[in-house]
């Protein structure tokens, strides 16, 4: 390879963003994961609207999302008309560098809107300011049209519409549950702000208290939610009966999904304050077991570890100011200690939950030790796991976001996936028959059941998600009744014992084609009856139709198409207002009259020409899991 002056290249802002989009919006994806890039595009535009609201301008934001297009209108001050084009197409340009125009903002780098512009097939921005308006239209970041200042009677503010570029976001689609969750977070962090998504209103009066009441319904908690609020800091928490910890952390209205210095300070201060209040050296695990909480901070010029702002790296509240860890620790020590003294009933309930966690941990110690020894021994000869080379916990910052574990049924299916997979980032775990129904069982069954024990060790989630080895856990079963049953059993396992894995968007169902329709010129893979009929119509009556009844029937050569870049995944979405115990009881408990009645009411008739009339029970929509 020659290395000369010709090897040195300079890219303009648009070319660089399109060449290295991961630097600006994280992983691309097709919209099947909540942190895929198309949702970051929406967030970058709304962040600017939120910054206007924080500065005291604009009490509502209107968002419309259709199949491909996103439209956002705020009622802030509006971009200064003479700088409209620069603000959306000139890198490192914006009002956030002026400390007087924006304080405690999340959009600090002058990059966000430019990234949306460059990565959009079409992008339009319009500013309304003091009775005048100006519009600019772009395609893939290139300016195509700019209007002059025109008189208008509309309220001040900014309007943006864009269509993500299909060349970059292949086969993308919007999942509205992910967008709605984004908007709820904006509402909780900006009490009094009204957001509208396709006409649906998102509004919060009491901030983080509303968030936790939605995440932890009254029938699932041990004591009333503790809500503490001060200057630039707000926190809430309670304890329930779920396994693990559940934390939500925010900085300047940004949901920091990977936490950071503020969340670490919060978790540390909680344990320290509770130990001092009860004058007992509790194990930190027992204090935080089954806790659900949230913390929000306002910080001047926060430092994030990437442009996507999912992890806070700031050590101080402001340059040269108070140490962030001390600020959070002092607040919690003072306010939580006062609260527990004033509310003895809450203090008693909190103590009982900690003591219960301590007892359960000690009871499990012997079982866990034996299970760990069995798992280590089994790994020497275990062929259940065909591992990959790159893992999620090892490379979060390097971009290995898409390491995937396929959970399959039987040797034939796992054999096809194993031969077709990408060995760098795709692993396969093979089940032996149908797994155990976990509903109503205690967590010790995870250690006593060989398959569950080996699976949790393969995932490395025994003590939380910090060491999670795969970003996507994909249940891959046959498209028949047995395959559906295995799906439900595996979903029950994760919901019962590792609900945070589901909440954080790591669990998926693999969609594989039901039919192959082909003639001598073309082969079409179809995922539904309607797709099959359309393909048969297009390819002609002589087309050959094959029905795939099991994954093992699909050759490795074909399977490679279905687990490659165009892989279709159905995310398991746990809605915040649904109780996991109620969900599991409904689907996996005894055959209740309510479930029987639901099935009866949803019976439907299907006419199939070759086979005549068939009576089927339609698969009911899962109330909390899409």
Query: How many Cα atoms occupy the beta-carbon half-sphere of 429 within 13 Å?
Result: 22
To the question of pTM greater than 0.85 for the whole model, the response is no
The answer to whether domain 208-361 and domain 382-512+548-579 are alike in fold is: no
The answer to whether residue 377 scores a pLDDT higher than 50 is yes
Taking residues 544-551, what's their average pLDDT? 85
Cβ-contact 603, 562 below 8 angstroms: no
According to the model, what pLDDT value does residue 120 have? 96
What's the whole-number average pLDDT of the chain? 85
pLDDT at 109: 46
Q: Where are the beta strands (DSSP E) in 147-300?
A: 150-151, 157-164, 194-197, 200-202, 226-230, 233-239, 246-251, 254-255, 291-297
Higher pLDDT, 591 or 242: 242
Tens of pLDDT, residue by residue over 481-499, are: 888 889 999 999 999 899 8
Fold that domain 382-512+548-579 belongs to in CATH: Rossmann fold (3.40.50)
CATH architecture designation of domain 13-202 = 2-Layer Sandwich (3.30)
Q: How large is the average pLDDT for residues 358-367?
A: 87
In percent, how much of the chain has pLDDT > 90? 47
Note whether 510 and 474 are within 8 A (CB).
yes
| pLDDT of 547 over the 70 cut | yes
**pLDDT the model gives residue 383:** 66
Per-residue confidence (pLDDT) for residue 9, from 0 to 100 = 82
Q: What is the CATH number of domain 208-361?
A: 3.30.230.10
Q: How confident is the model over 443-464, as a mean pLDDT?
A: 88
pLDDT at 318: 57
Domain ranges of the chain: 13-202, 208-361, 382-512+548-579
Sheet hosting strand 523-526, strand order edge to edge: 523-526, 515-518, 544-547
Q: Residue 617 pLDDT more than 70?
A: no
pLDDT band of 347, cuts 50, 70, 90: very high
Half-sphere exposure of 247 (CA within 13 A, CB side): 24
Q: Which two tokens stand for residue 564?
A: 């490659």
CA angle 39, 42, 45 (to 5 degrees): 150
């Amino acid at each position: 390879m020659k290395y000369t002056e010709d090897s040195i290249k300079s890219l303009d802002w648009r070319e660089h963003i399109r060449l290295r989009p991961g630097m600006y919006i994280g992983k691309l994806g097709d919209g099947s994961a909540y942190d895929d890039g198309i949702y970051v595009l929406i967030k970058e535009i709304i962040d600017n609207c939120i910054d206007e609201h924080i500065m005291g301008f604009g009490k509502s934001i209107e968002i419309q999302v259709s199949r491909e297009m996103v439209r956002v209108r705020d009622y802030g001050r509006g971009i200064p008309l003479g700088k409209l084009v620069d603000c959306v197409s000139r890198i490192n340009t914006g009002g956030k560098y002026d400390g007087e125009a924006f304080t405690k903002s999340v959009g600090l780098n002058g990059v966000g809107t430019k990234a949306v512009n460059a990565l959009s097939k079409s992008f339009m921005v319009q500013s309304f300011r003091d009775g005048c308006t100006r519009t600019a239209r772009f395609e893939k970041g290139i300016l195509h049209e700019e209007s002059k200042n025109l008189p208008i009677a509309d309220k001040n503010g900014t309007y943006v519409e864009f269509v993500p570029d299909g060349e970059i976001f292949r086969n993308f689609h919007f999942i509205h549950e992910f967008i709605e969750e984004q908007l709820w977070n904006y509402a909780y962090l900006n009490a009094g702000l009204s957001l509208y998504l396709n006409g649906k209103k998102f509004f919060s009066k009491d901030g983080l208290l509303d968030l936790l009441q939605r995440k932890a319904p009254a029938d699932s908690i041990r004591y009333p939610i503790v809500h503490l609020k001060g200057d630039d800091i707000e926190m809430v928490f309670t304890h329930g009966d779920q396994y693990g910890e559940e934390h939500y952390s925010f900085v300047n209205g940004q949901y920091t999904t990977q936490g950071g210095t503020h969340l670490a300070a919060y978790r540390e201060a909680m344990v320290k304050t509770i130990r001092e209040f009860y004058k007992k050296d509790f194990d930190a695990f027992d204090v935080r077991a089954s806790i659900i909480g949230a913390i929000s901070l306002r910080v001047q010029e926060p430092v994030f570890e990437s442009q996507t702002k999912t992890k806070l790296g700031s050590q101080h509240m402001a340059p040269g100011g108070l140490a962030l860890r001390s600020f959070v620790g002092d607040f919690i020590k003072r306010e939580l200690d006062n609260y527990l003294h004033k509310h003895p009933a809450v203090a008693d309930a909190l103590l009982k939950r900690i003591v219960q966690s301590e007892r359960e941990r000690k009871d499990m110690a012997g079982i866990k030790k034996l299970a760990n020894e069995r798992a280590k021994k089994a790994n020497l000869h275990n062929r259940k796991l065909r591992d990959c080379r790159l893992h999620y916990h090892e490379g979060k910052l390097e971009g290995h976001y898409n390491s995937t574990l396929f959970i399959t049924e039987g040797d034939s299916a796992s054999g096809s996936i194993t031969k077709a997979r990408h060995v760098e980032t795709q692993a396969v775990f093979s089940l032996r028959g149908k797994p155990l129904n976990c509903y109503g069982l205690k967590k010790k069954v995870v250690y006593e059941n060989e398959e569950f024990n080996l699976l949790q060790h393969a995932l490395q989630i025994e003590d939380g998600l910090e060491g999670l080895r795969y970003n996507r856990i994909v249940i891959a079963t046959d498209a028949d009744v047995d395959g559906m049953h295995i799906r439900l059993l595996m979903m029950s396992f994760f919901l019962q014992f590792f609900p945070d894995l589901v909440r954080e968007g790591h669990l998926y169902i693999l969609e594989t084609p039901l039919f192959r329709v082909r003639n001598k010129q073309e082969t079409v893979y179809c995922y539904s009856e309607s797709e099959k009929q359309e393909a048969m119509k297009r390819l002609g009556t002589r087309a050959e139709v094959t029905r795939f009844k099991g994954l093992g029937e699909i050759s490795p050569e074909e399977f490679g198409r279905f687990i490659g870049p165009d892989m279709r995944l159905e995310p398991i979405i746990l809605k915040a207002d649904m109780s996991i115990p109620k969900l599991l009881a409904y689907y996996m408990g005894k055959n209740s009259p309510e479930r029987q009645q639901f099935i009866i009411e949803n019976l439907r008739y299907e006419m199939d020409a070759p086979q005549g009339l068939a009576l089927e029970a339609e698969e009911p929509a899962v109330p909390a899991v899409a």
